[in-house]
């Protein structure tokens, strides 16, 4: 599904190239306009922008929503989960919703908290391989990836299926840690912290460009905090990348309350699961 807006033709063509390259089905091609009448059936044509708070029903948008609902209601959630899990060895599966229900049965909102991190990792100590499935925050996935160590590790991505976190390149200098696909904010540096924030250029990052991404080396003797709008596979890859740099500790941002959660530590001052305030990254 593509939305085109005046002045953003280049972005529109980039997304079209993704669809053509991957041989995907184009569900709709919508042209956003400020004035004029909407037209089309929800799959092609102009759509007049609705103002915030405007409760008028838009026939074209309603048709588009109905088409998407029809496509995604062909299978029940239970059928989809069964199919996803059938693609990996049964003994390697770490089903996060089921694990959370066991570790924190009183948790009514099904949300992971740092206090259950260490019990979860302890329950997986004897596991020979890890296939992580289900919703969970970036810090949880990062901790599991590092806990797996050299053992086989896969994670499920709803867009691309089962993936192994890719190996990442290190930049020789800070100026080289850039990419046309990814924006890296100026790092925050203090006496004991090195923090970076990363954002995809087009709000999407293709797994197949991972070998083109180049990341900065941390400064010596500083813990690393990683934040940004990233896919889970890149958070786990970055956790492994910085763990290989022998840093004192690593924390990943928890987007729910904008805190950093420690997922790896070699020092007593930063135990696993500790919450840290997020530094202000320029």
Confidence of residue 276 (pLDDT cuts 50, 70, 90): very high
pLDDT mean over 141-164? 96
The Cα angle at residue 190 between residues 260 and 255, in degrees rounded to 5: 15
Confidence of residue 1 (pLDDT cuts 50, 70, 90): very low
Q: pLDDT averaged over the chain? A: 85
Strands (E), 9-59: 29-33, 44-48
DSSP bridge pairs for 5: 32
* Helix residue ranges, H only, 25-168: 59-72, 77-85, 96-103, 117-123, 138-148
Q: Where are the domains of the chain?
A: 2-72, 89-277
In this prediction the pTM is: 0.80
Q: Decide if 135 contacts 98 (C-beta within 8 A).
A: no
Q: Please state, in angstroms and rounded to a whole number, the distance separating the CA atoms of residues 141 and 163.
A: 13
Q: What is the pLDDT of residue 20?
A: 84
Residue 67 burial (10 A CB sphere; 0-12, 13-18, 19+): middle
Which tens digits make up the pLDDT trace of 214-273?
Answer: 898 998 999 999 999 999 999 999 999 999 999 999 999 998 889 999 999 999 999 999
- Which one has a higher pLDDT value, 26 or 206? 206
Q: Which residues contact 255 (CB under 8 A, 6 or more apart)?
A: 137, 138
Q: What is the pLDDT of residue 111?
A: 86
Residue with tokens 């987007």, as numbered in its chain? 255
How do 223-228 and 188-189 pair as beta strands? unpaired
Query: Quick check: 43 pLDDT over 80?
Result: no
Query: Quick check: 52 pLDDT over 80?
Result: no
pLDDT mean over 83-103? 95
Q: For 134, left (φ over 0), alpha (ψ -120 to 50), or beta?
A: left
Confidence of residue 95 (pLDDT cuts 50, 70, 90): very high
Tokens of 15: 């997304």
Q: What is the pLDDT of residue 35?
A: 62
Q: What is the pLDDT of residue 41?
A: 52
């Amino acid at each position: 599904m593509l939305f085109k807006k005046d002045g953003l033709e280049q972005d529109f063509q980039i997304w079209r190239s993704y669809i053509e390259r991957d041989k995907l089905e184009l569900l709709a091609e919508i042209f956003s306009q400020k004035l004029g009448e909407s037209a089309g059936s929800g799959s092609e044509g102009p759509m007049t922008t609705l103002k915030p708070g405007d409760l008028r029903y838009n026939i074209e948008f309603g048709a588009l929503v109905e088409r998407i609902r029809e496509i995604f209601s062909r299978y029940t959630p239970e059928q989809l989960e069964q199919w996803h899990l059938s693609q990996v060895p049964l003994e390697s599966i770490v089903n996060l919703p089921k694990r959370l229900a066991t570790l924190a049965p009183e948790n009514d909102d099904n949300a992971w908290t740092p206090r259950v991190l260490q019990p979860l990792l302890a329950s997986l100590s004897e596991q020979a391989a890890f296939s992580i499935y289900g919703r969970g925050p970036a810090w949880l996935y990062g901790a599991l990836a590092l806990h797996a160590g050299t053992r086989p590790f896969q994670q499920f991505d709803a867009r691309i299926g089962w993936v192994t976190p890719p190996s990442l390149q290190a930049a020789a200098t800070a100026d080289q840690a850039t990419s046309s696909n990814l924006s890296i904010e100026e790092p925050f540096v203090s006496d004991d912290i090195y923090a970076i924030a990363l954002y995809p250029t087009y709000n999407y990052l293709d797994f197949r460009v991972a070998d083109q991404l180049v990341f900065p080396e941390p400064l010596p003797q500083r813990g690393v905090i990683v934040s940004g709008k990233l896919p889970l596979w890149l958070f786990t890859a970055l956790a492994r990348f910085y763990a290989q740099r022998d840093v004192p500790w690593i924390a990943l941002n928890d987007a729910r309350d904008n805190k950093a959660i420690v997922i790896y530590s070699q020092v007593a001052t930063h135990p696993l699961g500790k919450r840290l305030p997020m530094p202000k990254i320029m």
